[in-house]
Amino acid sequence: MNKTIISSIGAALVCVVATVNGADLAGSAPFQFRYDEALSKLPDQVAPKVPGAHGGFAVDNKTGEVFFGLKGAGIIWMSNDLKEKKVLPVTEPMILEGNFHNTTVLYRGDGERFLALPDNEKHRVYIVSDEGKLASVLNSPMDLNDYYGGGGAFNPTDTEYADGKLYVADGYSAGNFISIADPWSASWTDTYFGGKASGAREYGLFGTAHGITLEPRTKRLAIADRANSRVQDFDFHGTFLENVNLPAGSLPCDIDFFQGNVLVGCLRGPSGYQSAPCYVVDKDGNLISEVNPKKDFGLELFTHIHNAAWKPVYGQEGKFDKLYALATSWIPGCFAVMDLLK
């Protein structure tokens, strides 16, 4: 199935910037956001490393905690309410200096929590404990197909843990495959899908398989195909299911889901690289809100959005209490917490 969300932002909705209680408010109801400067502050010791950030964060849906891999700093931990932040005491050099392109939380069968960190510069994926200790390393899947067997580069950009397997998007290589691994034995399965597309109309192939996310309602794997400004859905076996076109030239980097609503972080917007938006798309594929951190909140460093995630906050007895949108920019790196107006 193929669907187009929108071809022109202005034809779909009017985004407003209002002021409520002295704070700028951006987006379209019911998804209007304000920038939370206090919660966006990272620990002082990592501040010099943030401009070089190329990675992203993972939200643990069981505990609400957030993990963020940052080159030169290691791993940053954030509490459920985002008020506490600390740097994990990582000592392994390859973890401290890894160019983590994204972060994924995964639980082993015994309940122990780990993180998957794809390093597109060192051509590998690290599996580390939630204390930052290295558990295993996934190197290039040399025996998977002729591309890798022939020396083709392995430049992983994102991972997702689903159905007991780790799905690895190799978005920065000429291969552009989604490979499947057993993270606990640090071994690759013989299954993969995707490959390099020569045009946007080639379904099941990718221009840039940049981000991969599990859609919890439908149990689909959603791939942000950045170069083709679209999202493609697959089942766990790699069967192509659906193509969703985003605004032309938006270059989606990352996607996340919460209660059927999709948050899409884009490298650029309608006015080019100086106007990078986060889109909110409903379960029917309608673009219902747009927030531009640079234009709407005056965050001058937000010229390219590289990572975006919903961050629900759960109160007592696991009751949903609040929702944030998290975003990071790239070249230079910057981190923002956007509070959803209730």
List the pLDDT tens digit at each of the 342 positions of the chain: 776 664 333 333 333 445 545 458 999 999 999 999 999 999 999 989 998 888 889 999 999 999 999 988 899 999 999 999 999 988 889 898 889 999 999 999 999 999 999 999 999 999 999 999 999 999 999 999 999 999 999 999 999 999 999 999 999 999 999 999 999 999 999 999 999 998 778 999 999 999 999 999 999 999 999 999 999 999 999 999 999 999 889 999 999 999 999 999 999 886 666 679 999 999 888 999 999 999 999 999 898 999 999 999 988 777 788 999 999 999 888 999 999 997
* pLDDT at residue number 18: 53
Domain range for 21 is: 1-32+251-342
* pLDDT at residue number 271: 64
Q: How is the beta sheet containing 31-35 ordered, strand by strand?
A: 16-20, 23-28, 31-35, 334-340, 320-329, 305-314
- What is the radius of gyration, based on Cα positions, of the chain? 19
Q: Is residue 40 part of a domain?
A: no
CA 129 to chain centre: 20
Specify which residues 183 forms β-bridges with: none
Q: Is residue 144 part of a domain?
A: no
Q: Is residue 179 part of a domain?
A: no
102 in Cβ contact with 307 (< 8 Å):
yes
144 half-sphere exposure, CB direction, 13 A CA radius: 26
Q: Is residue 50 part of a domain?
A: no
Q: Is residue 295 part of a domain?
A: yes
Please name the residue that has the structure tokens 């809100």. 289
Query: Tokens at residue 227, please?
Result: 């170069």
Buried b (16+ CB within 10 A) or exposed e, 251-269: bbbbbbbbeebbbbbbbbb
Going by C-alpha positions, the residue among 101, 107, 103, 38 that lies closest to residue 77 is 103
Q: Is residue 154 part of a domain?
A: no
Q: Is 276 exposed, middle or buried (0-12, 13-18, 19+ CB in 10 A)?
A: buried
Domain count, the chain: 1
* pLDDT at residue number 2: 74
- The percent of the chain in helix, strand and coil, each rounded to the nearest 5, is 10, 45, 45
Q: Is residue 245 part of a domain?
A: no
Q: Is residue 278 part of a domain?
A: yes
34 in Cβ contact with 337 (< 8 Å):
no
